Structure 1
Amino acid sequence: MTFEHYIALFIAMFVVAIIPGPAVFAITSASLASGYKRGIFMTAGLLLADYVFILLAISGLAVVAEVLGGAFVIIKYLCAAYLIWMGISLLLSKPGASATGTATHSTQSAVLSGFLLTLSNPKAIVFYVALFPTFVAIESMTYTDILGIMACATLAFGSVNLGYVYLGGQARKLISTPRRLTMLNRCAGSVLAASGVTVAVR
């Protein structure tokens, strides 16, 4: 791959990343409710799933998706159920107790939730099946090219998602009273639950 190919691929990934979807709403809401840490862990999970998609795309994602179609459906519903569960937990939580409880929970599950979000994201599947091959000569891939593609994904998807994490964390800093924290939890919980429903019905 040439430098121009990497630039074109980076721009395409960046444009796809900034389009709001369930993943964006989830990481922003998680950062609002729990601070930067959970959002950063979720972003790491999102990137891991992108690496998996890149490897699958190079080895023939369309064939793999057809063979494992049932598995993708299961992952989609697991992710949807998890988002809805997180949303309901925030809606029912008390502001004083949710901060520590959610922070502890984030170290155990945020990466997994981010990973499942990308795996079940139709936007990601369409990009890697339909658009990705137009930027990459898959038949002549080298290990260096694969590492370069993963670097593009890290810079494009990582920077955009961390930007959303930063905005969510900054907004959280402005909210300090129990009443505002309760409102924040309800808003974040509603967004997460709605994201879960969106994932399920797509």
Structure 2
Amino acid sequence: MAFDTWLIFVVTVFFVSATPGPNMLLAMSHGIRFGLRGALPTMAGLLLALGLIMSGSAAGLGALLATSEQLFSFVKYAGAAYLVWLGYQAWRAPVSERMDSDDDGVAAVSNWQRFRTGFLVAMSNPKAFVFFAALFPQFMRADAPQMPQLVVLAGTFYVIESSWQVVYAFGGAKLKHWITSPLRQRMMNRFAGGSFMAAGVALSTVSRA
């Protein structure tokens, strides 16, 4: 593809990834709870799901979801329910008297649990499959080999998306040192829980278009 076309893709993805959504919100909330290092398994789950979504879109799953109302609705409502449940958990999360160490709370939630949560949150949005199926072709040349172009686009998206996840998790880790009182912890739990539940409700209203 032309270099200027790739630059347009970079700018597009930069702002799309920067927009706060369930993935970035989860990276930030786990950064708050577990610190930047403790949020790495969460980000690994998010990025693995992202890779599967891009692969599925390239294989035609995005087009299938775009044409099958029943399949799209099933994935949509299952994902919305999971986000609402995750929000409820965050809302009711217990608070502690002190949050001084980056290791606080990490032992209580295993790497596998954090990885699984990241994976399920990223996979919960069927719109992502349709998004990639619609986005990538806009920047690809039909008269050139498709696979090298897909690799370049997917790799670019991966780098930008993972960079923003690190930014959000790092910001959350910095906030952790500010949230030292039970009142502030409770306020952050309410914010994170309410945001996840709002994202779930919003997801339940999206259409294939």
Contact 1:50 1:153 in 2 (8 A): no
Partner of 2:30: 30
8 Å contact kept, 1:49–1:119: yes
Q: 1:162: how far off?
A: 1.9
Preserved CA contact (<8 Å) 2:95 2:186: yes
> Cα distance, 1:171 vs. partner?
0.9
Farther-moved stretch of structure 1 (41-50 vs 89-98): 89-98
d(CA) in 2 for partners of 1:101, 1:80: 27
Deviations, residues 133-165 of structure 1 (Å, cap 9, x unaligned): 110236743544333222201111111222112
Give, as a single letter, the amino acid of the residue that structure 2 aligns with 1:181.
Q
Higher deviation after alignment, 5-14 or 111-120:
111-120
Contact 1:27 1:161 in 2 (8 A): yes
Q: TM-score, normalised by structure 2?
A: 0.75
How many residues are aligned here? 202
Shift of the 136–193 alpha-carbon distance from structure 1 to 2, 3 Å rule, reads same
> Which residue identity does 1:59 align to in structure 2?
A
Supply the distance in 1 between the matched residues of 2:91 and 2:54 (Cα, whole angstroms).
36
Taking the aligned partners of 2:147 and 2:58, their CA distance within structure 1 comes to: 11
Which whole-Å deviations, capped at 9, do the CAs of 1:63-114 have from their partners, x for residues lacking one? 3324665444333333322322232223323213998657643622333333
Indicate the residue corresponding to 2:10 in structure 1. Answer: 10
- Contact conserved, 1:76 with 1:119, CA < 8 A, in 2? no
After superposition, the Cα gap between the structure-2 partners of 1:103 and 1:67, relative to the gap in structure 1 and judged at 3 Å, is farther
Structure 1's 126 and 147: CA in aligned 2 closer, same or farther, altered over 3 A? closer
User: What is the TM-score when the length of structure 1 is the normalising length?
Assistant: 0.77
Identical-residue share of aligned pairs (%): 29
RMSD between aligned alpha carbons? Answer: 3.2
Matched with 2:113 is 109
Distance 1:4 1:56 in 2: 27
1:61-76 pair list within 5 angstroms: 61-66=61-66, 70-76=70-76
Question: What is the aligned partner in structure 1 of residue 176 from structure 2?
Answer: 172
Structure that is richer in helix per residue: 1
Deviation, 1:17, is: 0.9
Structure 2 unaligned blocks of 5 or more: none
